[in-house]
Amino acid sequence: MINGDWCPSYLQRLENKFNKGKINQEKYCAAKQFILNKMSNIQKLQESYDKMTVEDKRQFKCKFEQLKNEMCEYFLKIINGRVNSFRLRSSLKNYEDINDIIQDAFITVMTYINRYNDAQATSAFAYVTQLATNSILFSLNEIKEREEKMVTGLDFYDNLNTLDDKHGLDGLNKLAEE
């Protein structure tokens, strides 16, 4: 069962941000109330789970597993839809990058899904889609930076100025001549 150990540390980080002036009073109060509600709901779930019979717990676990599997399937459909809308399959040269992007987006969605606040009456679909989009954009920026920095083979070697490098071959020859 989920026990909510993340809640107290999240509250502490939230309070630190508020004390340092990084978030305003309104956002602080709303986020704090959200976490307190989460903690209360988790506690109620835990209490009702503890009162269940062994058979009820088994059925609960089966239903919970089924729900998790369906949720993962829906998340992957949303992520693949975003990948398709970015036309990554036709624009990226390396197909392994696409798989990495999908995995990163899935991990991001699974990491931050607990921050969805249904009390704000926003769309859960929009929330998951935004998480996936942000993750994809972040991954694309990382790939772009990696490709700009990547230097391989003799091109790299030819660009080195080994005359100034005493450890390089030309630098060693120059030292030997002196």
Q: What is the per-residue pLDDT for 93?
A: 72
What is the tens place of the pLDDT at every residue in 51-105?
A: 999 999 999 999 999 999 999 999 999 999 999 888 887 777 777 888 899 999 9
Check whether residue 45 and residue 64 sit in a common domain.
Answer: no
**Which range marks the domain in which residue 113 is found?**
53-151
Environment class of 46 (CB within 10 Å of its CB; exposed 0-12, middle 13-18, buried 19+): middle
Check whether residue 63 and residue 45 sit in a common domain.
Answer: no
Q: What is the per-residue pLDDT for 136?
A: 94
Q: Give the residue, 145 or 52, on which the prediction is more confident.
A: 52
The full length of the chain comes to 178
Tell me, yes or no, whether 161 lies in a domain.
Answer: no
Check whether residue 100 and residue 112 sit in a common domain.
Answer: yes
The pair of structure tokens assigned to 108 is 């991001």
Q: What is the per-residue pLDDT for 1?
A: 42
163: helix, coil or strand?
Answer: coil
Check whether residue 37 and residue 111 sit in a common domain.
Answer: no
The pair of structure tokens assigned to 47 is 């209490």
Give the confidence band of 164 by pLDDT, cuts at 50, 70, 90: low
Structural domain count, the chain? 2
What predicted TM-score, i.e. pTM, was given to this entire model? 0.65
Q: What percent of the chain has pLDDT over 90?
A: 33
Check whether residue 47 and residue 67 sit in a common domain.
Answer: no
Measured distance CA(105)–CA(82) in Å, rounded: 10
- In contact, 113 and 129? CB cutoff 8 Å: no
Tell me, yes or no, whether 104 lies in a domain.
Answer: yes
Check whether residue 67 and residue 88 sit in a common domain.
Answer: yes
Check whether residue 66 and residue 34 sit in a common domain.
Answer: no
- In contact, 89 and 98? CB cutoff 8 Å: yes
Check whether residue 140 and residue 101 sit in a common domain.
Answer: yes
Most confident of 45-49, 58-62, 140-144: 58-62
Calculate the alpha carbon distances from 176 to 60, 105, 158, 166, 170 in Å: 78, 55, 22, 11, 10
Q: Identify the domain boundary among 12, 34, 51.
A: 51
